Structure 1
Amino acid sequence: MDIPQNHVRRRTVVAAAVTPLASILGSGLLIIVPVLERTLGALAVFGAIAICAVAWMLGTVIRHNLIVVEARQAAKTLDLATARLGRLADAVIVIAYVISVALYVRIMAEYLVAFFISGGSPAVEALVACVSIAVIILIGMLRGFRGLDRLDRIALSVVLVLTAVLGSVLIASDVGGFATGAVTVPPIPALPIGQIFMVLGGIVITVQGFETVRYLGADFDVATRVRASRLAQAIASFIYIGFVAVATPLMGLGTAAGADTTLLDITARVAPWLALPLVISAVLSQFSAAIADTEAADGNLNGLNAWFHGRRPYLITGLAAIAIAATIPTLTIVAIASRAFAAYYALQCVIALRTSRRWPHRVGFGILALAMLAVTLFALPAG
């Protein structure tokens, strides 16, 4: 029996959406709640909405370039200056991906070690992070994209289920707390508006991932990648905004517990029995995101130069990520990664501006480019 073409198309789009969705959710689901708590308090959900809105606009830039620039490159009609900007952007994103891989496994290691060792252990965290990167790189070298993609799908499926369970528990706790008057909405920190914007800019990494579809061209066509990018961003935005909304009434900023350092703090107060599932989710989500960005780094390096083929991209990405994960604190990596991605997005905005024929679009792309340049130069650490 033949499968209807539209069904095949939908299934292909969902398959293509795995990598960007895994990267987006892994980028910030575990850190966005405590960061927004310390920055915006009761208004945290508006911060989540703003971040997701900016991410969608940047996703529009990426999708424009995916459609227009790739077509011009194929037709050999892309002007030299824009082509050089594209090469520069490709080099910048490789650096950003390497940093993000190191970040994801560090966050994973922190959750895992904190569950077993009270107060954590920086040395053990670094060791766990480095071993995890080595495993990802080994799988990539031996099995390539297919081996990594299979792991990505399994990890993402488990993360989505566990996130749904945790979200449901938080909703139930909110309802019960408001019914009994036991919930205290956290206060709004007295921070200068400029500092708030720069801190939010410093967590651009939390919504990174939608651009990974640009480097899956060997497996999916342009139309599929565009639809997959939109689907991944829509799902991730729904999860981020909803998750922050249900977590806000339970934030510790307005209680004796004080501001939360990780999502594990909230979970331990509200539902201690969910601590282990959360750690499992943390491990899988960060591992999945690290896989997604390793795939993207490999695809991007392949396009930079003929020398970057075979196992070399995995080795380069892995060794650099291990060096970063072993030596740099997590929150510092967050700020550095955000600046690197902001620089990449700024270049992509300039490319979109140069290749767009509509003035309203060009103005919008220009404003976004300036905003990302500001994040690159002035973003503040999340902690």
Structure 2
Amino acid sequence: MIHYAVANREILIPNFIVIATTLVLTLLLFAKPIEKSSWWAATAIPLASIIGSGFLVVAPILQMSMGVYAPFAMTGLVTVAYLIGAAIRFNIHHVEPKLAAGTLHPAPHTLEILSQWALAFAYVVSVTYYLALFGDFALRGVNVVNPILSHTITTAILIFIAVYGRYRGFNFLGRFEAVKLGIIGGLLAGLAYGNYHAWAQQLWHLPPVKEPTLHDWRIVLGMLIVVQGFETSRYLGDKFPPMLRIRTMRYAQWISAGIYIVYITLMLYYFNYPLPPEGQDTAIITLSRHVATVLPVMLLALALIAQFDAAIADAQGGAGLFEELSKRKITVNTGYIIIAVGGILIVWSSNIFQIITYASQAFAVYYMLQSMVAALTAAKHEDIPHRWPKFFGFALVASLAATVVIFGIPAGG
């Protein structure tokens, strides 16, 4: 009877912590003062995009490739992302007003147009990435790992986006930042308790040390997509003033960096559990049951909400960009069809780890071009303070993004 009570308590306590933290954080973020706050709205959009980009796939991939060095790899990824963010913040502050006034030098202006085309095509890959994960997680919910069936689900949703987007639009969709962040907070609280409990029982230990190879670091480079999303602040100009977008992009990157690093560090103890032989991209669902029995269901809900929400948001962004860049020769409706056709071609010719790398490389091309825009703007416009240090700094950031494009490889590659 005593053993039963102890076992029951060990199940109930982590579940209570996870559920309570999720509810409290979600209700807090739905509170009127926060919900109606412009700084929170401007922070939440890029923050939810960054976290939604790969929060659930990053731990299993880092477990496979980096082992105990995973927190260092994660720190490297968020650092690279922050440096790229600095270039985009510079462009919000200096390039946007010059574009509006028609005074931007032709060299950065040309690169700015190229970067917008790169972003439009990056959206095609990212929509495919989100929906490929959606298909995998949906099947994981019924304990099925079947790439063909997953590709079929992804294809069906891509066709739905093309048809519904063409004839109806997606105005009914809301965003779920508070719910997503609430569940992530619950997961972190559960992980913290699990680590403490293992330490108190003298069970806590690191997994066996795996020395990362150059191949492993190239896999990490191919994971830039997991910290992508901060660039959305660049395209919120119709909602928020420039300085607010600059400040809140920093907040979003600071908060997401802290969440990612703490998450991966707390996951180290759980890296002792073996990954499933199949469906490793969704392995966090399997691993999470060792944290709290309620977490697999919650993370499955998070995955489906986050991936579908992000896919629709990027489909809207991509379709709108195709229309704008083609000077309305390509309509938004046709843009949805381009995204769907491109996505179907990608999903049937690639596995999920290849799609993750393609998405990372596609956004890295955009980031490289944006960094080059920042560097050339600093070099060509004398009104910018400390322009030569900024030129060399942003040129270095462009080189980092180019490194991802050239050297990033899939986890299965």
- The structure-2 alpha-carbon separation of the partners of 1:318 and 1:201, relative to structure 1 and needing over 3 Å to count, comes to same
2: CA distance between counterparts of 1:355 and 1:237?
A: 28
Counterpart AA for 2:325: L
Aligned pairs for 1:108-127 (under 5 A) are 108-118=134-144, 120-127=145-152
Q: Report how far residue 295 of structure 1 moved.
A: 3.1
- Asked if 1:240 corresponds to 2:269, the answer is no
Structure-2 residue corresponding to 1:129: 154
Under a length normalisation based on structure 1, what TM-score does the superposition of the two structures give? Answer: 0.88
Higher mean C-alpha displacement, 359-368 vs 218-227: 218-227
Native 8 Å contact 1:27 1:205 kept in 2: yes
Q: Report how far residue 9 of structure 1 moved.
A: 12
Residues 198-253 of structure 1: CA distance to partner in whole angstroms, max 9, x if unpaired?
2221101111111123233344443343234223222322221121121111113x
Residues 290-326 of structure 1: CA distance to partner in whole angstroms, max 9, x if unpaired?
1232233234324312223442323322332233234
- The structure-2 alpha-carbon separation of the partners of 1:142 and 1:156, relative to structure 1 and needing over 3 Å to count, comes to farther
Q: Report how far residue 140 of structure 1 moved.
A: 4.5
2: CA distance between counterparts of 1:228 and 1:143?
A: 32
Structure-2 residue corresponding to 1:364: 393
Instruction: Specify the SS of the correspondent of 1:272.
Output: coil
Q: Share of identical aligned residues, percent? A: 31
- The structure-2 alpha-carbon separation of the partners of 1:292 and 1:224, relative to structure 1 and needing over 3 Å to count, comes to farther
Unaligned regions of 5+ residues in structure 1, if any? 1-6
2: CA distance between counterparts of 1:133 and 1:18?
A: 26
Q: Report how far residue 113 of structure 1 moved.
A: 0.1
- Name the larger-Rg structure: 2
Native 8 Å contact 1:141 1:311 kept in 2: yes
Native 8 Å contact 2:198 2:204 kept in 1: yes
Structure-2 residue corresponding to 1:45: 71
Instruction: Indicate which of 296, 306, 317 corresponds to 2:339.
Output: 317
Native 8 Å contact 1:90 1:300 kept in 2: yes
Aligned pairs for 1:147-162 (under 5 A) are 147-148=172-173, 150=174, 153=175, 155-162=176-183
Counterpart AA for 1:251: F
2: CA distance between counterparts of 1:145 and 1:360?
A: 44
2: CA distance between counterparts of 1:202 and 1:68?
A: 30
- The structure-2 alpha-carbon separation of the partners of 1:110 and 1:53, relative to structure 1 and needing over 3 Å to count, comes to same
Aligned pairs for 1:333-344 (under 5 A) are 333-344=355-366
Aligned pairs for 1:80-99 (under 5 A) are 80-99=106-125
Structure-2 residue corresponding to 1:4: none
2: CA distance between counterparts of 1:287 and 1:264?
A: 18
Instruction: Indicate which of 183, 186, 200 corresponds to 1:179.
Output: 200
Instruction: Indicate which of 355, 377, 381 corresponds to 2:406.
Output: 377
Higher mean C-alpha displacement, 77-86 vs 266-275: 266-275
Report the RMSD for the aligned CA atoms in angstroms. 2.5
Aligned pairs for 1:349-360 (under 5 A) are 349-356=371-378, 357=384, 358-360=387-389
Native 8 Å contact 1:22 1:288 kept in 2: no
Q: Report how far residue 268 of structure 1 moved.
A: 2.9
Counterpart AA for 1:365: F
2: CA distance between counterparts of 1:21 and 1:143?
A: 28
- Asked if 1:208 corresponds to 2:228, the answer is yes
Instruction: Specify the SS of the correspondent of 1:190.
Output: coil
1: CA distance between counterparts of 2:274 and 2:109?
A: 56
Residues 123-163 of structure 1: CA distance to partner in whole angstroms, max 9, x if unpaired?
22112223333444556556657544x2xx2x322211211
Instruction: Indicate which of 99, 103, 115 corresponds to 1:73.
Output: 99
2: CA distance between counterparts of 1:146 and 1:217?
A: 19
Q: Report how far residue 59 of structure 1 moved.
A: 0.7
Native 8 Å contact 2:48 2:181 kept in 1: no
Native 8 Å contact 2:60 2:275 kept in 1: no
Q: Report how far residue 269 of structure 1 moved.
A: 3.1
Instruction: Indicate which of 290, 308, 311 corresponds to 1:269.
Output: 290
- The structure-2 alpha-carbon separation of the partners of 1:315 and 1:256, relative to structure 1 and needing over 3 Å to count, comes to closer
